[in-house]
Each structure stands twice: as C-alpha cells, then as structure tokens.
C-alpha cells in the first residue's frame, strides 16, 4: 500500500516565500515494530511539516513482505489500519476525531509523539526545502522504499 497526501499551501497575497527561497521543514520516519519486545523495525512512512508554508503531508508504504521478514505473524491489516488513521489525522479528516481538527503544527506534534505501539515515529529531523511535497516524495523513496 502506498499513499501520499498533504494540505495545500495557504498563502495570502504577498505572504509567500520568494521564488527560489529555501524554507525549513521537519520530518519523522514512521516505523512498524511488529514485536515491541524485540525492537526490530521496518520503515513504513514519512510525515513532513513546513511551518513557513503550513504544509503537512504524509507518504506511507507498508511492504507486507518486509514486515513478515521481521515477524512472520505480523498483522499487516492492523498496520495498514493504523496508517489509515495517521493519514486521516494528517489530512484533517473530521472522521479522525479531535486531533484532526487541530492546526497543522499540532497535528504534526501528535503524529510524531513517542509511543510504544506497533507503529512508532522516529526522531524528528529538520532540513531546508524549495518544495515540501517534493521532499516528502524524496524522503519516502530514500528512507522507506
């Protein structure tokens, strides 16, 4: 399963970045940890946030064969269900509950908060970008696929 999505840029006239201006962003890799007691993981997605553009996007790819290589008994459907919830919160889908109604910055914080479940965010990293959506795709290809 692969999906990508994010909020559209929201600039008022004259408030956007200058052409060619690099803007800061933050991202975290999402990992599946089929057996939390063993700590082995498989990268399954990326969440990226750029405050300057109010862009929040996620790119997700759960490779069932890779997950099963770590744990033959992994519930792939459960992992995909968690990813569906992450996607819904990221996109601000009202069906995802209260977290989805928050501003993009708060949703990013919620999505990257440490947790001890089968799907866990890694540490938050930063970078500079001309295009947050393009960097989200680049990070998915480099870190997940």
pLDDT digits (tens, 9 = 90+) for 1-21: 455 555 444 444 456 667 778
**100 inside domain:** yes
Please state, rounded to an integer, the average pLDDT across all residues of the chain. Answer: 90
Q: Give the ranges where the chain is alpha helix by DSSP (H).
A: 64-70, 76-91, 104-111, 132-143
Q: Give the ranges where 16-75 is alpha helix by DSSP (H).
A: 64-70
Whether the CA torsion 84, 145, 134, 115 is positive or negative: it is positive
Query: In the chain, how many domains are there?
Result: 1
**15 inside domain:** no
**17 inside domain:** no
Q: 136: domain range? A: 22-143
**30 inside domain:** yes
Instruction: Choose between 33 and 19: higher pLDDT.
Output: 33
**42 inside domain:** yes
CA distance 126 to 144: 17
**119 inside domain:** yes
Region 86-100: mean pLDDT is 95
**73 inside domain:** yes
**16 inside domain:** no
Region 110-133: mean pLDDT is 95
């Amino acid at each position: 399963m692969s999906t990508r999505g994010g909020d559209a840029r929201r600039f008022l006239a004259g408030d956007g970045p200058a052409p060619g201006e690099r803007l800061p962003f933050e991202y975290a890799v999402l990992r599946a940890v089929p057996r939390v007691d063993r700590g082995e993981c498989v990268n399954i997605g990326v969440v990226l946030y750029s405050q300057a553009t109010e862009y929040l996007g996620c790119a997700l790819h759960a490779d069932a064969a890779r997950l099963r290589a770590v744990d033959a008994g992994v519930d792939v459907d459960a992992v995909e269900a968690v990813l569906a919830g992450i996607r819904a919160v990221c996109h601000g889908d009202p069906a995802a509950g209260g977290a989805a109604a928050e501003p993009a910055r708060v949703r990013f914080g919620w999505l990257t908060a440490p947790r001890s479940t089968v799907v866990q965010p890694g540490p938050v990293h930063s970078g500079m970008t001309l295009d947050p959506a393009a960097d989200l795709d680049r990070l998915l290809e480099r870190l997940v696929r």
